[in-house]
Amino acid sequence: TITALASRLHVRQRFVALVLGANQRVAATVAAAQRLGSVRGDLDADALAQSIVLFALGIIAAADLGVPLQVEPTRRVVLQLLRSPRSR
């Protein structure tokens, strides 16, 4: 759990490094998709990347807690929010 991660300094530092690395990789992917016109270009790639990573972490936490998830409807909404008007 997140509490267990936060309680041990070494584990917390490693987790933070993993999240920051994920942010960088997702930001590069977002920027490339923006250049291709498939993701909205009016959004900051770094901020969007962090939002996506944090969204994924929230989904993982919810699933771990047994929260019922509507995966397909949520996927469709997120894609619609991110999609560039040119690619619709």
pLDDT, tens digit (0-9, with 9 covering 90-100), for 42-58: 999 999 999 999 999 99
Residue whose token pair is 């309680």: 7
The whole-angstrom separation of Cα 76 and Cα 79 is: 5
Give the SS3 label for residue 88: coil
How confident is the model over 11-38, as pLDDT tens digits?
Answer: 889 999 999 999 999 999 999 999 999 9
The pLDDT assigned to 2 comes to 73
Torsion of CA 49, 54, 56, 58, to 10 degrees: -160
Classified as helix, coil or strand, 58 is helix
